[in-house]
Structure 1
Amino acid sequence: MSSSTHQEQYSHQEQYNILARVLNKMYQVEYSKENWELLYKPLMHNLFLQYIPEKARILDLGCGSGQLANHLIKSGYQVTGIDISDQFLVYARQNAPGGEFIQGDLRDIEYSPTFNGIFSKGALMVMMSLEKLEDVLSIVYGALLDNGIFLFDVRREETVKSWGTSLADAEIKTLTIEDDYIWICRSTYDPEKKIMHNFFTVFELVNEQWLRADTNFQGKVFSTEEIKTSLEKVGFTKIEIYQEGKDLGFDGVMDRSIFVCRKPAIVSV
């Protein structure tokens, strides 16, 4: 780095703001128009959009900086996004001005049946117990209209088992180097507690100074059978499970399972 690295300590909020700014830049690339057309649009159509009406109402749980929501809005859907980060929502409102964005925890959603479809990319992984996961699944079920579709992803334990058990032997999952930022993600997994940790170190060039942020996010790994049983417990039916690489044709090593399930229509007698 040609510029000096700023060594002062930043508050948690300031660090999260740095993470949000850099992630917004990364998501602009990941969810670019080209990637949407070639990858995400076909995937969303095959697993989700084909089962809901045109111009349907969609809820994006953990919407981040809103790039996926924006593509759906441009495709004619009415999108509401929820995220716990106020800084992410600043970017979401800029990136997807046609959407509605609400700050809140996934467990605090209060909707009567409203949405034709609900999806979540990565957000359910932070539920640290099966009870908390079931709480969210129950809330999602209640927010869906009859025949509504829920799409979400989780880590697969057989893939995270290869991660190190301590930071000293952590696996580098992501290393991105650009002119104005560097993003490093190291991951560990505790097989006894079934808890994964992602350690993020981010450098961002701002006003010719490199700012640094470090943080750690943890998540719980549940078995496919545990998740399927929880979905059935709250009422979901027609549960389909896919592996990113094996079933969906993603290139490279993919470590997530994707669940697609339906809220059945209640038949009046």
Structure 2
Amino acid sequence: MSLVKNDANHDRFASVFNLLPSEAEFVMPVLEQLMLKHLPKGAHILDIGCSNGYIVQQLQKRGYQATGLDVSGKLLSFARINSPESKFIHEDIRNFKSPPTYDAVYSKNALCFFMSLEELTTVFQNIYTAMHDNALFMFSIPTADIYWRDGVPEDDYIGYGYTNTHCYVGDTFVFIERENYHYKPEERIREVAMTIFELIDGIWKRTDSRHLVKDYFLSEIKAVLENVGFIEINDCNIQDFGEDYKGYDQHCIICRKPSLSQ
């Protein structure tokens, strides 16, 4: 399946996404322990798939120079309001070209939208080029090691409709996200469907969207990182960070760009 058919642009949901509970309180302790403690204040950090900018906002408040990148222009319009002192880039990371600018790069669950190792390689190469020597790269990503057991999803629901439904309800919206394990096990591709009911001018309006998520094995991801040139590639499970993270069974990977002058 080609990413060309994969609608991971969340423009249609931007106004409601901005009303959902912020994940910054959940993310920042992990960032502090794995990445931020190794960076000086004022370090320039790029957040890939920054959405409405709440993590960028928290980085800026902690004294870092923060830049957010996202493919959704409407999400970035909220991000610029939420973190007005930060810089934001409207770009697809596959097409992002930058000279060495960043002391660290972070991404939360944005790299699973690329459907092939070739595309993932292009993404990692673009990130690598945009980083200073010795810069850190940290990202979280769903992996096949966790989601798939013996060739089938861990919940054993393949072909039986939707599982892992998440729902948020506000005064002016209802947000529903559902994962579907319909695809062939050997492809390790899941479908995520989102439905939003939004109260606009006194009328409830419905919007639907579907996109695909690719579950790579951890060994595949590490091999691509190594081939691009990253070193000191380590991983951990987010749920190991304490009681507040139990149930978030997901890999986090951190690595470094070497000093090319050595």
Same fold (TM over 0.5): yes
1:6 is matched with: none
1:110 is displaced (CA, Å) by: 1.1
Kept after mapping to 2: 8 A contact 1:61/1:83: yes
1:131 is matched with: 118
Among candidates 180, 193, 209, match of residue 188 of structure 1? 180
2:92 is matched with: 105
1:159 partnered with 2:152: no
1:16 is displaced (CA, Å) by: 4.9
1:6-21 equivalent positions in 2, closer than 5 A: 16-21=10-15
1:229 partnered with 2:217: no
1:255 is displaced (CA, Å) by: 3.4
2:106 is matched with: 119
1:76 partnered with 2:63: yes
Change in CA separation of 1:65 and 1:71 when aligned onto 2, cut-off 3 Å: same
CA distance in 2, matches of 1:252, 1:89: 31
1:81 is displaced (CA, Å) by: 1.1
1:218 is matched with: 212
Kept after mapping to 1: 8 A contact 2:147/2:215: no
1:216 is displaced (CA, Å) by: 0.4
CA distance in 2, matches of 1:79, 1:30: 17
CA distance in 1, matches of 2:86, 2:176: 31
1:248 partnered with 2:241: yes
1:202 partnered with 2:196: yes
1:261 is matched with: 255
Kept after mapping to 2: 8 A contact 1:54/1:77: yes
CA distance in 1, matches of 2:180, 2:158: 5
1:153 is displaced (CA, Å) by: 1.2
Letter in 1 for 2:48: L
1:174 is matched with: 166
Change in CA separation of 1:198 and 1:255 when aligned onto 2, cut-off 3 Å: farther
CA distance in 2, matches of 1:183, 1:108: 30
1:267 is displaced (CA, Å) by: 4.2
Letter in 2 for 1:254: Y
Structure 2 residue ranges without an equivalent (≥5): 1-6
Change in CA separation of 1:16 and 1:30 when aligned onto 2, cut-off 3 Å: closer
1:155 is displaced (CA, Å) by: 0.7
Letter in 2 for 1:101: F
Partner SS, residue 137 of structure 1: helix
Kept after mapping to 2: 8 A contact 1:172/1:184: no
Instruction: Give TM-score scaled by structure 2 length.
Output: 0.88
1:149 is displaced (CA, Å) by: 0.4
1:233 is displaced (CA, Å) by: 0.6
Kept after mapping to 2: 8 A contact 1:52/1:148: no
CA distance in 2, matches of 1:264, 1:99: 27
1:266 is displaced (CA, Å) by: 2.4
CA distance in 2, matches of 1:17, 1:194: 26
> Cα deviation per residue 1:216-247 (whole Å; 9 max; x = unaligned)?
011211100000111111111111101121x2
Among candidates 2, 18, 21, match of residue 24 of structure 1? 18
Letter in 2 for 1:118: V
Among candidates 79, 84, 89, match of residue 92 of structure 1? 79
Kept after mapping to 1: 8 A contact 2:141/2:251: yes
CA distance in 2, matches of 1:221, 1:16: 20
1:52 is displaced (CA, Å) by: 1.7
Change in CA separation of 1:212 and 1:98 when aligned onto 2, cut-off 3 Å: same
1:90 is displaced (CA, Å) by: 0.5
Letter in 2 for 1:123: A
